[in-house]
Structure 1
Amino acid sequence: MSKQATNNPTTLPPAKPELPRSFRRIWAASAVSSLGDGVYATAFPLLAFNLTQSPVMLGVVRASTLLPWLLFGLIGGALVDRWNRRSTMWIADLCRAVLLAAAVLGAALGFLGVPLLLGLGFLLGIGSLLFDTASMAYLPDLLGRDQDVLVAANSRLQGTELAAADFAGPPVGSALFVLGRTVPMLGDAVSFLFSSLMIRSLPKAAPKPAPPKGSLLAEAKQGASYLVQNRVLLGLALRPAVGNLAFSGMAAVLVVFAHAVLHAGTAGYGLLLTIESVGGLLGSTLGPRLGRALGTGTALTTTALLEALGILGEGLSSTVVEAGLFSALCGAGIGATIVLGPSVRQAIVPGELMGRVGAASRLIAVCAAPTGAILGGWLAEGAGPRAPFLVGAGILASMTIVVGTMTSNRKIDAALAEAEREREAERVPVPALS
């Protein structure tokens, strides 16, 4: 069995796999772009609230950024597999920079309003769909299929994104909003432009996806079918979906929980969000070590149980400090999961299907979020603000048992080994007929 297929906790691979110098460019692009996202994510709700005091309209503006995933998620994956992934990434970021700059110009001309925000959110959501799908598919093209290398790369990317978007982004976004309502948009446009230029400089020799063999809808269906028929990939897709169901229900009422149960003010509510991000950063850093020590399958089961325990403890807490500790535990589980899970998918999915399978997996997770938010609000209204935490913890813990059987160490090892055998077979030259 090759090193790629080895996931045995008794045989530990090197702790720090070497990453090529070209990775630094995509890492830098991710850091700056994530900072811009953090700025925008903070300023966008402030701007929407400044324009309309309606909670319903605020929800609609937020939903506009997610709608493209629901409408075009699978199609976007098929397009990424047809197109050059590196080109898709830098063009998507360039278009997002132009969109934001145009929005700033439109605001200066007096067109700033909710319709502008809705259109901007929708178009930026399309750019995010294409960029995120292409990015996850391009990483194996750049680094190869060694799972240890992919885990190390995803750990650095996710850790940097959390630090930039969740720590640096919010205060910078708030400060820029004070300078002017559209200044954060201009800052985010600059971040996308930088990211586009950095990605444009990446190697051009990435493997080209296979040419299309049918209609776009048929290709999208092929990716979804490949995901559903592979139990390991399906299990890896269900993990974040179940997590989103639980987390969204909790997040939907967190501000009510913080004020009504923990008796915390705005500062206490912000502290909870920050502490969870600290846990996420720690989890993304320690995820590779946990995977090497326990095996990826066992590590994913462990992180899910940590998340369930964190949600349960937070829901039973009576003080901000107590809730913060459990929030950090939940964040650490999430941070490790988003490093380990995608790395397995990147190592086993054929290159020509990477975009479609990744998009199908992301679509499952995205669809679970609004369902969880509605469920959380309904539970809080009927049974109190603690109810979404308790029910979410139960859902996550029970589904962990089911999903854990689909992504055990043995099954992940077998999937990695099979993927390596298929790649080896493709590399063997076929003798010419005499």
Structure 2
Amino acid sequence: MWSASVVSRLGGGVAGAATPLLAASITRDPRQVALVTVCAGLPWLLLSLHTGALADRWDRRRTMWLCDLACAVLFAGLAGAVLAGAAGLALLCAVAFAAAAVGTLFDSSAQAALPSLVPRPLLSAANSRLYVGTVMAGLFVGPPVGSWLFTSASWSPFAVDALSFLGSAALVLAVRTRFRAPAPTGRGLGREIGDGVRWLRSHRQLRSLVLLLTAWNLTETATVSILVLYSLERLDLAPSSYGLLLTSVAVGGVVGAAGAPRVERRVGTGTVIAATVVATVLADVGLALTSDAVVAGVLLGVVGLAAFAFNVVSVSYRQSVVPDELQGRVSSAYRFATWGINPVGAALGGVVAAAAGLPAVFWGAAAVLALAGALTASQLTDRRLAAGVTEQTG
């Protein structure tokens, strides 16, 4: 499972750096560049509740490798279109939407499967190792390779991504456990979705995490959607250097993901969450003020450290309190809000940048995240989070 995740994310990092560069080679309008990110986020809003319920119905292992094969076909087709000179913005948006739609099913299945492999007390360590591996592959190695490949042969990053999905599918097939939860019987997909939504709504700490992460993803997607323009215009970097800028996020992400379990054990989950929010707000303010590439790289490293430390502790917390038969549905309901907001954030990023300039996006991100952190702080203390675990396991 770890190897499949790393291989897939390596290809995703290669294509992830090339995709905005391809969009920016078609248009420099920030609204149109951001449209690709909007399309990649829409499936989480439109499909995630349904795919989460299906992840609890179907064999999760089979679902994962079939999703990998589907994505391999999509990116092989995009590579061919770029090679033929037929890849316009509409095709790029369509592939982004289709791959993300398949990804909603894959991710719901993968996150629901992990507690079948790992004892609950070790989920934080397991998620830490997963995030370290995927950050190294997807953000540290992949983006600079993707940027370089794009400047050399613009079709090749997408071909590499297609091959990575094939490799991931083969590795998932090698896992013998089927990760199948007890299947809901005869109640209809709508009722099964409702079970997951109601369970999530009843858990106060997870509700607060949903609110905080929704605001966080809104602001992060807004900044990511215009980051390629920030790199090219504000920092005056060459296209081949865009991937190197993303590696600073990876360096921070590795440190954050690797250190999160140890820090969590020493200071508590709530303290880690509060610290990551404060660090991200301050980094966004710094990015709004600077035009120096080195300073921006350091600040993006702080953003990566905070984001992945938060991811490790929050995902592990959710997996530890949710019953196995509801893992897919609760995860998808959680992500319906927290990832479904991504297209809104991407659109806002493009609109704000066009109207008020690139730094305004980072100012807005800092303000929104600070407000969300203040509103949720009382429910996300160490004591309240520990009580939320006790309520479900006691």
Does structure 2 conserve the Cα–Cα contact (< 8 Å) formed by 1:315 and 1:323?
A: no
CA distance in 2, matches of 1:106, 1:258: 27
State the AA in 2 paired with 1:41: G
| Paired position in structure 1 for 2:136 | 163
2:266 corresponds to 1:293: yes
Which of the residues 14, 31, 42 maps onto 2:6? 31
* CA gap 1:126/1:275 in 2 versus in 1, 3 angstroms: same
| Paired position in structure 2 for 1:214 | 187
| Paired position in structure 1 for 2:209 | 236
Which of the residues 118, 129, 139 maps onto 1:143? 118
Which of the residues 75, 91, 95 maps onto 1:100? 75
Q: Which moved more, 1:282-291 or 1:242-251?
A: 242-251
Q: Which moved more, 1:376-385 or 1:222-231?
A: 376-385
| SS of aligned partner of 1:386 | helix
Stretches of structure 1 lacking an aligned partner (at least 5 in a row)? 1-25, 422-434
User: Which structure has the bigger radius of gyration?
Assistant: 1
| Paired position in structure 1 for 2:221 | 248
| Paired position in structure 1 for 2:238 | 266
| Paired position in structure 1 for 2:317 | 344
- CA offsets, 1:110-163, max 9 Å, x none? 9755555444333222221111111111001111322xx111111111111111
State the AA in 2 paired with 1:157: L
* CA gap 1:327/1:152 in 2 versus in 1, 3 angstroms: same
Greater relative contact order, per chain length (Cα 8 Å cut-off, separation 6+): 2
Which of the residues 339, 344, 348 maps onto 1:371? 344
Does structure 1 conserve the Cα–Cα contact (< 8 Å) formed by 2:205 and 2:380?
A: yes
- How high is the sequence identity, in percent, across the aligned residues? 38
CA distance in 2, matches of 1:292, 1:371: 35
CA distance in 2, matches of 1:202, 1:416: 30
Q: Which has the higher helix share?
A: 2
2:18 corresponds to 1:43: yes
* CA gap 1:169/1:219 in 2 versus in 1, 3 angstroms: same
Does structure 2 conserve the Cα–Cα contact (< 8 Å) formed by 1:287 and 1:339?
A: yes
- CA offsets, 1:260-282, max 9 Å, x none? 7x654337766543323321221
Does structure 1 conserve the Cα–Cα contact (< 8 Å) formed by 2:143 and 2:243?
A: no
Does structure 2 conserve the Cα–Cα contact (< 8 Å) formed by 1:82 and 1:212?
A: no
- CA offsets, 1:24-43, max 9 Å, x none? xx111111111111122223
2:102 corresponds to 1:127: yes
Stretches of structure 2 lacking an aligned partner (at least 5 in a row)? none
CA distance in 2, matches of 1:313, 1:136: 34
- Written as runs of structure 1 = structure 2, the 5 A alignment for 1:190-201 is 190-201=163-174
* Aligned positions, number: 392
| Paired position in structure 2 for 1:81 | 56
CA distance in 2, matches of 1:274, 1:76: 32
TM-score by length of 2: 0.88
CA distance in 2, matches of 1:61, 1:419: 40
State the AA in 2 paired with 1:240: L
* CA gap 1:372/1:217 in 2 versus in 1, 3 angstroms: same
- 1:109 shift after superposition: 8.2
- 1:258 shift after superposition: 5.6
Q: Which moved more, 1:381-390 or 1:365-374?
A: 381-390
* CA gap 1:303/1:119 in 2 versus in 1, 3 angstroms: closer
Q: Which moved more, 1:220-229 or 1:374-383?
A: 374-383
